[in-house]
Structure 1
Amino acid sequence: MKLSFEEIKRKLLLGENVNLECKEAESTIPKSVYESYSAFANTSGGDIVLGVKENKKEVNPEKRFIIQGISNPTKQIEDFWNTLNGNKVNANILIDDDVYTVSADGVVLIIIHVPRASYNLKPVYIGENPYKGTFKRNNEGDYHATEHEVRAMIRDQNPNGNYSAILEHYNMDDIDITTLSSYRQMFKVTNPEHVWNSYDDKEFLRMLGGYAKDRMTGVEGLTVAGLLMFGKGLPIREKFDNILMDYRDESGLSGDMRWSDRLTYDGTWENNLFNFFTIVARKLTSDLKKPFRLENETRIDDTAVHKAVREGFVNLIIHSDYMMDAGVLKVIKKEDGFEFTNPGVLKLPKEEIYLGGNSKARNPKMQTMLRMVGFGDNAGSGFPAILKAWSNNGWVTPELVENTVLNQVCLSLTFEKTAVKNGDKKTAIKNGDKKTATKSEVHIKNIIEFLSTVGEASTAEIAEKIGLKPSRTREILSTLDDVEAIGSNKDRKYILKSK
């Protein structure tokens, strides 16, 4: 949805951010526009507004950003397209409607809307060298992407992942037989008639994609996926000393306790991914409620919530970037939920992930290995299953937070109930939820005051202003009788209803 002149004025009251950049550009397109173009494309998209002068010495946003307009918008737009379609940048990801003008009282602004580039088009860069011309975006503006960030983008171009590569000189001696035997037992229970059950370990691993041979060179050995999933701890640490695994139980703490249980490398277990998953998954689900249910005279202890928690863990493993310069696979069990943090940014926009139906695992071989023993799904329905389980229990929508500066993604699953409606305060207090009702009242008051000032705002803008996560903010907004939504899901804004 295109921005209006009034919307731009309201956005300027919030200042520049990770999705908004202003340029003076009174008579010519500044060179820095292409840096912002690269930065937005490689991060999460955004809007470049031409015709706004910034006084960086001024703290007050109303005085910091001065709308002065463009004197020759037609020529500047023509120059921009000519440059974009030339050799200035490696890829043009815009369509005609992404560049347009808005005006009021004779003042004309140019808006360049830059979408987030598809993973197979990144990096979007200036010039001929991606290591010198790639930019990313943070709240302080555009910055040169590091070599590791550029390499990560190039790796992600591969739709089949990079974890089927053969690790020369890593062979079956580097496999932890105890781990592989445990996996094979689970595989046999899940697939009792499968022909692979009769294969020896090496052939079984080859069929899974954990061992391979290059027909051209004759080189054979473990694949990256095979070593990480089933390898001994020492060869894994030799090859991937940049990656750590860390589980912490932060529930039921007292005094100065930082955690009540922790699993990280301490020499007592072979720290491969399958061990990490099976050990920690049991710890995560051990306290979840298990209603009594029989199926074919067998008690079924698994619930949709159990499966959702494991799905969150599976997502962490199959979407992690194990080739980053540093990263931690972090799983935290909290009093009110769970957090799963993995190294690597999202390959798909969050909107697509929440809708489901499309799966772009960074590690499809690992995804297959886990799916073959009943964990995870490769049809893109895994995340919607998490959303459904949480919704059915009346809990706040799971939040997927991408940090493009730290290059990591965090999935938060909380047992917090959804926002209390205005008219339900008495019910909330009656049910012992007085604290939630009081906190909601404060947030509601802040939302109303904010919208009274800016007129309209997106969920992200409101969330940033009141200090809540977007998912929690969205829950509160859905309960407010004085607020209405305008626009489609992707471009939805909120305004106060006319009285």
Structure 2
Amino acid sequence: MNMQELKSLIYQGEKVDVECKKAQGKVPDSVYETYSSFANTKGGMIVLGVLEDKTKVIPEERFIIQGVDNHEKLREDFWNTINSQKVNANILVDDNVYAVEEDGIALLVIEVPRADFTVRPVYKGENPFKGTYKRNHEGDYHAKEYEVRAMIRDQSAEGNDSTILEGYSMDDIDADTLERYRIMFNSWNPQHVWRELPDKEFLEMLGGYRRDRREKVEGLTVAGLLMFGSGLAIRDEFDNIFMDYRNETDADDETRWVDRITYDGTWENNLFNFFRKVTPKLTEDLKKPFVLKDMQRIEDTQVHKAIREAFVNMIIHADYRMDAGVLKIVKFNDGFRFSNPGSLKLPKEQIYKGGESKARNPHMQTMLRMVGFGDNAGSGFPDILKIWSDNGWEIPELMEDTILNQVTLILKYKTDEVGESIFLDAKMSEEDEKNERRLSEALSEVMTASDYKKVEAIILYLEDNKYVTPQIAEKLTGKSAPTVRRYLKMLVETGYVRVDGSTSNIKYVI
């Protein structure tokens, strides 16, 4: 940039990503504190050669452009120091440090990018707990110990959720939660080799239980306990974590919310139960082409997918070791807000672009993906952006609060004159509504809860494959041929499938 552009930036005042320093004859020691704070927060620009008179209010009087005496020597001194043991890591390239000159006055500019998560914390000196800085609107501050530990945790290539928890075993798993998950897993993966594994081996394959042969220890991992553990066991280890969902549609001064899911003693407080209980409430107002009352999903709209993707992202990117961690979802008249503890591992620009996935909790990501939720190819957030754009809604806003150590995603959609949601791609035709009513009524009248689960497996298979044979249906349900024929006949009568082919090669086509 030229001097006029730089002055314009300076006169806007010091802020979270701009710092001015006097530095006439030498590089001030405080530069390396600011270098650390910018690298560990969102990046920023250090300008050397500017005197600040804090008694003045008018920007042109408050920030005095003095310049530096010898910018070439100053630049050389800075490079020599940044490459020494003054700081633990040099994340700059040549183009990040340059002089801006005009009328014999030179300012030295140092552009500090946000450090990659594999490098953070960037710190001054040799002790990260004493030399790590972060940035807020007031300037540089010493990072708290839990903030430093969070950066160190994020360096792991395996993520944060594979750690074996000392003293935790399969006894700390809530059996009902794991059983519900396994039913969904079997429906989504009818031919998978993990279906018949005992619970411990099943969890081990998912990353919820681990053996460390080198250290000769084994037990539940962070992912296994948080996803499927009993509420009491989770609170013993993660007493800082709190899960909260609020429906604040039509809320007023007297009624703060119309529905809430939080710790009330009626459910085991693990992540899978939270996800399972809250997801239907987020999408219950969306019209669906086809749905069953106990189904997690049968046929989706793109809007359903985007909302679920936002929920999955919140879970798999949260830092559950933060000093105060709240997983909070709020449903408003015009959208949703998802908040989780932690920071962004990737720059916001990279997240919006997509193509790279760096989940903080990759094993939780696998667990959800294996039952049909989430994407691990780095396309999840761009998918949300596209779906919102296709509907003409506001661009989703991803915000990082580096002071509260919290990430928030806001999804807003347009409303009509009476405040009702307009979901352009989620309309249900009269024929679809008719089919839904007929199928739901027919199944609920003649089937037990156990049989109902078997039919769900057939329908899920149909959604992926468009047709099913009696032989495949028998394998999916584990039922006899006469029972399966009864199931398939009911689906024909509802209009959900039609019969195709002769008796010897009959198929039921969706």
TM range (shorter): 0.7 to 0.9
Distance 1:51 1:277, change over 3 A: same
User: Hey, what does 1:161 align to over in structure 2?
Assistant: 159
User: Hey, what does 2:319 align to over in structure 1?
Assistant: 321
User: Hey, what does 1:131 align to over in structure 2?
Assistant: 129
SS of the residue 2:108 aligns to = strand
> Deviation string for 1:142-196 (max 9, x for gaps)?
1111111100000000021121111122111111111101100110110001111
* Residue type at the aligned position of 1:216: R
User: Hey, what does 1:236 align to over in structure 2?
Assistant: 234
> Deviation string for 1:268-299 (max 9, x for gaps)?
11000000011111110101233579xxxxx9
Distance 1:49 1:416, change over 3 A: farther
SS of the residue 1:396 aligns to = coil
Map 1:52-451; keep pairs closer than 5 Å: 52-290=50-288, 301-416=299-414
Q: Which moved more, 1:148-157 or 1:162-171?
A: 162-171
Residue 127 of structure 1 deviates from its aligned partner by: 0.5
SS of the residue 2:281 aligns to = helix
SS of the residue 1:92 aligns to = coil
Aligned counterparts of 2:298 and 2:345: Cα–Cα separation in 1: 35
* Residue type at the aligned position of 1:113: E
* Residue type at the aligned position of 1:154: I
> Deviation string for 1:287-327 (max 9, x for gaps)?
1233579xxxxx96411111000000000000000011111
Aligned counterparts of 1:216 and 1:119: Cα–Cα separation in 2: 27
User: Hey, what does 2:421 align to over in structure 1?
Assistant: none
SS of the residue 1:118 aligns to = coil
SS of the residue 1:16 aligns to = coil
Aligned counterparts of 1:91 and 1:217: Cα–Cα separation in 2: 31
User: Hey, what does 2:2 align to over in structure 1?
Assistant: 4
Aligned counterparts of 1:302 and 1:251: Cα–Cα separation in 2: 23
* Residue type at the aligned position of 1:192: P
Q: Scaled by the length of structure 2, what TM-score is found? A: 0.79
User: Hey, what does 2:37 align to over in structure 1?
Assistant: 39
Aligned counterparts of 1:122 and 1:218: Cα–Cα separation in 2: 30
Q: Answer with 1 or 2: which has the greater Rg.
A: 2
Contact 1:24–1:50 (8 Å) recurs in 2? yes
* Residue type at the aligned position of 1:148: Y
Residue 51 of structure 1 deviates from its aligned partner by: 0.7
Aligned counterparts of 1:345 and 1:98: Cα–Cα separation in 2: 25
Residue 8 of structure 1 deviates from its aligned partner by: 1.5
Distance 1:370 1:96, change over 3 A: same
Aligned counterparts of 2:100 and 2:283: Cα–Cα separation in 1: 54
> Deviation string for 1:202-225 (max 9, x for gaps)?
111111111112213432211111
Distance 1:209 1:34, change over 3 A: same
Residue 133 of structure 1 deviates from its aligned partner by: 0.4
Residue 104 of structure 1 deviates from its aligned partner by: 1.6
SS of the residue 1:196 aligns to = coil
Aligned counterparts of 2:15 and 2:226: Cα–Cα separation in 1: 38
Q: Scaled by the length of structure 1, what TM-score is found? A: 0.81
Map 1:17-36; keep pairs closer than 5 Å: 17-36=15-34
Aligned counterparts of 2:298 and 2:169: Cα–Cα separation in 1: 40
* Residue type at the aligned position of 2:304: H
Q: Which moved more, 1:194-203 or 1:304-313?
A: 194-203
Aligned counterparts of 1:306 and 1:378: Cα–Cα separation in 2: 18
Residue 255 of structure 1 deviates from its aligned partner by: 4.2
Residue 399 of structure 1 deviates from its aligned partner by: 0.6
Aligned counterparts of 1:292 and 1:271: Cα–Cα separation in 2: 30
SS of the residue 1:76 aligns to = helix
Residue 5 of structure 1 deviates from its aligned partner by: 1.4
Contact 1:345–1:407 (8 Å) recurs in 2? yes
Residue 92 of structure 1 deviates from its aligned partner by: 0.5
User: Hey, what does 2:485 align to over in structure 1?
Assistant: none
Identity %: 66
Contact 1:159–1:360 (8 Å) recurs in 2? no
SS of the residue 1:290 aligns to = coil
> Deviation string for 1:428-459 (max 9, x for gaps)?
xxx969xxxxxxxxxxxxxxxxxxxxxxxxxx
Residue 13 of structure 1 deviates from its aligned partner by: 2.6
Runs of 5+ in structure 2 lacking a partner?
292-296, 419-510
SS of the residue 1:341 aligns to = strand
* Residue type at the aligned position of 1:220: E
Aligned counterparts of 2:54 and 2:257: Cα–Cα separation in 1: 44
* Residue type at the aligned position of 1:119: F
Distance 1:67 1:270, change over 3 A: same
Residue 266 of structure 1 deviates from its aligned partner by: 1.2
* Residue type at the aligned position of 1:78: E
Aligned counterparts of 2:308 and 2:279: Cα–Cα separation in 1: 6
Residue 233 of structure 1 deviates from its aligned partner by: 0.2
Distance 1:22 1:217, change over 3 A: closer
* Residue type at the aligned position of 2:13: G
Aligned counterparts of 2:56 and 2:254: Cα–Cα separation in 1: 43
Aligned counterparts of 2:215 and 2:253: Cα–Cα separation in 1: 60
